[in-house]
Amino acid sequence: LEKWSPQSALDQLQAKLDASEAESEVQIKQFLAQDLPLESFLESFCQSRTHSHVCRTQLEKLQELLQK
């Protein structure tokens, strides 16, 4: 049951958000170091940021639900 607790869900969403944010930072550094072409950077960065925003929204909504 602990695996399916609301706190566990929050922790998992926070971990996904943190990982996505870290991935975005790595992509930025690679692009600025010219290790990543523009087209590849734009595609992967947009996907990472979209994933981050989805995770953040889910996390915020779950937090709202748990506060009620």
Q: Could you report the per-residue pLDDT of 2-57, keeping only the tens digit for each? A: 677 888 889 999 999 999 999 999 999 999 999 999 999 999 999 999 999 999 99
Degrees, nearest 5: CA angle 36-40-42: 105
pTM of this structure: 0.80
Answer yes or no: is pLDDT of 1 > 70: no
Q: What is residue 11's predicted lDDT score, i.e. its pLDDT?
A: 93
Break the chain into its structural domains and give their ranges.
2-67
Instruction: Compute the radius of gyration of the chain from its Cα atoms.
Output: 15
Residue 7, pLDDT score: 86
Spatial distance between the Cα atoms of 68 and 63, rounded to a whole number of angstroms: 9
